[in-house]
Structure 1
Amino acid sequence: MQTDFIYEALPTRVIFGEGKLDQLLPEIERLGAKRALVLSTPQQEAWAQQIAEQLGTASAGVFAGATMHTPVTVTLKAMEHVKASGADCLVALGGGSTIGLAKAIAVRTGLPQIAVPTTYAGSEMTPILGQTENGIKTTIRQPVIQPKAVIYDVNLTLTLPVGMSATSGLNAMAHAVEGLYAQDRNPIISLIAEDGIRAMAYALPIIAQSPQDKEARLQAQYGAWLCGICLGSAGMALHHKLCHVLGGSFDLPHAETHAIMLPHTAAYNTPNAGEAMSRAARALGTDDAGHGLWQLAKNINAPMALKDIGMTQADIEKALDIALKNPYWNPRPLEAEGLRGLLERAWAGEPPRP
C-alpha cells in the first residue's frame, strides 16, 4: 500500500443521468451568470444553436470554431466573439476540442465554464489546458481552467459514431492508466483509476456491437468521468508526453493517437511500474496490461497504427528528438533505444513489447 502521498479533491459539480441537459439553465443561474456563450465544433453547430435557442435570453449566441489541439489562433478568434457577445459564462458542447477551447478562453478571461461532454474524452474533469502554437503543444494547469460544472446526459452520446466512441474511450482510459503510476498518484486515485478502466473495458465492446445500448453508454460516461478525475488529480507521464508531441508537431488526430499509443506506453512502463500495471491488467480482465489494451483496441476496431492516421516513418526520429528534449517524469527512464522501438511498433501497428 502506498503510504506517502498528497490527495487534493477537485471542486467540480457533476450532474449525471439521462435527460440532465434540462439542468443547463439552472446551472447557469446557479453560477450567477446571465449570458452564456455556447461553444462547439463546426460539425456540431446546429446542435449548439438549438441549445442556445432553448436558453432564450440567457444565451449570448454560439461560437462554432473549436478544433483539435486547441490552436491559439482559434482561441484568439473566439475571444473576439466573447467580447462582442457580452458573455459572462461559457457552455462547452462536445468533446475535448470544444472543452479545450472553453478552457483556453477561461484562462484568459476568468469566465466560468459548464462542460456538456458528448464523447468520452474526460478532459472536462481537469484543470489542465493543452494548446498548440507554432507546431508545439504545451500544457497549463490552473484552477480557473477547471469547469465549474459538468453535465453528463447519456442521450447526448447515443449518436456518437462507433469509431469515435472507441477512440475517445481509449483516450479516457489513458488518463486512468497513467494515474496508476503517475508521480502524484495516491490510494484514492488508484481506486478511481481501476474502476474507470474496468467500466470502459466493459462498455466499449458492447457499444461497438450495439451503439444504442443505453446501459453501456452510461457505463462509458461513468468511466470517462472517473478517468478524467485521474488526469486532473495525478498528472501525466510518458504516454501524454508522446501524444502531445505527435498531435502538436504532426497534427495527428488526438483521440486516435491516444488509442494507438496506449498499449505501447503501458508495455514500456510495465518493468518499472509492476503494481500499477497489475491493477490495470486486473481491471481489463487479463494478465498483461499492454497486451490487454492492444487486444481491446483490436476487438473494437480502433485504429492500430500511426501510419494509418497520417504519420510517416521519417517522422519517428523527429518525434523521438522532441520527446527527449523536455521529458515528463516517468517511472521508467526515457531511453532513446526503447522509445524508438515503441514508436516504430506503434507506427507499424505491431503488438507492444516491454
Structure 2
Amino acid sequence: MMEAFVYNAHPARVIFGSGTLRQLPTEVERLGLRRVLVLSTPQQEKDGRATAEAIGGRAAAVFAGATMHTPVEVTEKAMALVLAERIDGIVAVGGGSTTGLAKAVALRTDLPQIVAPTTYAGSEMTPILGETRDGVKTTQKSPKILPEVVIYDVDLTLSLPVALSSVSGMNAIAHAVEALYAQDRNPIISLMAVEGIRALAQALPKIAEAPADRKARSDALYGAWLCGTCLGAVGMALHHKLCHTLGGSFDLPHAETHTAVLPHATAYNAPAAPEAMRAIAGALGTGDAARGLYDLAHRLGATLALKTLGMTEHGIETAADLAMANPYWNPRPLERNAIRDLLARAYAGEPPRA
C-alpha cells in the first residue's frame, strides 16, 4: 500500500539543450522586461558583458560582484544598482554564486529572474536562499526566490574545468541523497533523486576522462537539473546543515565542502534510513551508499579532506557545536560526539564509518 504523501510542484520554465542560450533575448522579451541587470562573478565579468550585449537594448547594467556564500554586503551593493538603474528583471549566467545573488535580489524585490547555469550546482531550481552575515550562513525559503526561467545550455558547461565539474556534480548528488530520506519525501521526488544520482555517477567519470564529451556533459547537466529539483521540493537534513556551517563560518569552498562531507553524513544517517541507502547504492552501482560516494569522489580526484580546503583542526569542535544549534530535521537524532567524530574523519579525509 502506498504511504500518504504531499507533493508540491514548483512553477518554473525550463529550456534544456545545446545552444539554448540564444533564446535568452526572446525570454527577456517574453517576460516584458525592459531594464535587465546582468549578474556575474568578477572572474566571469567578460561573459556577463557578452550576455548584456546579446540581450541588447533591454540590458541596463552589469554587476560583476557575485561571490560564494552570498554575503549580505555584496547583495546590498547590487541592490543599490537595482534602484539607481530602475531594474525590472535579473539575468544570471554562471554558477551557484551568481545564482545566489540573483535570488537574494529577487527576495528583496520580487523581480523576475532568468538563470543560465554554467555548473551543476542545481540551486537554480530551488526557492531556497543561503545568505551569509557576520560569518553565519542562514537559509530561507520563499516563492520570490525561485527563478522564473532556467536555460540549460550544454555548451556553457563544455569549458568547465574537470576539477570543478567533479565537485559541482558531487554537490548536486548531495541534494538527491538527502531528498531520499527527507522528512517530507515523496515518491515523485524520490524517482528524480535516484535518476539524478545515476545520471551524474555515470557521467562524471566520463567527463574526467574526456572533458569535451558532449553526451556526458548533457547527461551531467540533466542529472544536475533533477537533483536541484529535489533540493527545491523537500527539506534538507544534517549534510546541508554541516556544509552551511562550514561554508559560512570557515569560508570553505561550497562544492568542495559538500564533496568532502557527503560520504560521512550519509554514513551517519545510514542506520536510520535503510531504504534510502539501498536506493543510493543502487544508483551508484555499488553495495554501500556511503562508501560508494567516497569512492566516486576519490575516482574523480576530488579533495576529500577538509583540512586541505582550509579548515583548522580546532574548528572541528566549533563546527560540532554549531551543527547542534538550530538543527535541521534529520532521520537519525543528532548526537554531538558522533557529529564531532564525523567531522574529524572528514577533516582528515578518511573513509566514512557508520
- Range class of TM-score, shorter chain: over 0.9
Whole-angstrom distance in 1 between the partners of 2:278 and 2:108: 41
Structure-1 residue corresponding to 2:57: 57
Whole-angstrom distance in 2 between the partners of 1:2 and 1:297: 35
Whole-angstrom distance in 2 between the partners of 1:257 and 1:23: 34
For structure 1, the 5+ residue unaligned runs are: none
CA contact 1:20–1:152 (8 Å) conserved in 2 = yes
**Per-residue deviation, 1:336:** 1.3
**Per-residue deviation, 1:184:** 1.1
Matched ranges for 1:235-254 at <5 A: 235-254=235-254
Structure-2 residue corresponding to 1:153: 153
Deviations 1:230-249 (A, max 9, x none): 00001200000000000001
Matched ranges for 1:298-337 at <5 A: 298-337=298-337
2:281 is matched by which residue type in structure 1? A
Whole-angstrom distance in 2 between the partners of 1:53 and 1:257: 35
Deviates more, 1:318-327 or 1:120-129: 318-327
Structure-2 residue corresponding to 1:140: 140
Whole-angstrom distance in 1 between the partners of 2:54 and 2:223: 29
Deviations 1:38-81 (A, max 9, x none): 10000000011011011111111210000000000000000011
Whole-angstrom distance in 2 between the partners of 1:85 and 1:343: 46
The answer to whether 1:3 aligns with 2:3 is yes
Structure-1 residue corresponding to 2:289: 289
Structure-2 residue corresponding to 1:176: 176
Deviations 1:277-314 (A, max 9, x none): 11010000001110000000000001110000000111
Structure-2 residue corresponding to 1:199: 199
Structure-2 residue corresponding to 1:13: 13
Whole-angstrom distance in 2 between the partners of 1:141 and 1:54: 32
Structure-1 residue corresponding to 2:71: 71
Q: Percentage identity across aligned positions?
A: 65
Q: How many residues align?
A: 354
Whole-angstrom distance in 1 between the partners of 2:215 and 2:64: 30
**Per-residue deviation, 1:86:** 2.0
Structure-2 residue corresponding to 1:228: 228
Deviations 1:104-155 (A, max 9, x none): 0000011010111000000000000000001110011000100001000000
Give the match's secondary structure for 1:68.
Answer: coil
**Per-residue deviation, 1:37:** 0.9
Give the match's secondary structure for 1:309.
Answer: coil
1:53 is matched by which residue type in structure 2? E
Deviations 1:77-101 (A, max 9, x none): 0001111222211011111100000
**Per-residue deviation, 1:324:** 0.5
With the length of structure 2 as denominator, give the TM-score of the two structures.
Answer: 0.99
Whole-angstrom distance in 2 between the partners of 1:6 and 1:232: 14
**Per-residue deviation, 1:33:** 1.1
**Per-residue deviation, 1:260:** 0.5
With the length of structure 1 as denominator, give the TM-score of the two structures.
Answer: 0.99
Q: Which runs of 4+ in 1 moved over 2 A?
A: none
**Per-residue deviation, 1:2:** 5.2
Whole-angstrom distance in 2 between the partners of 1:155 and 1:241: 33
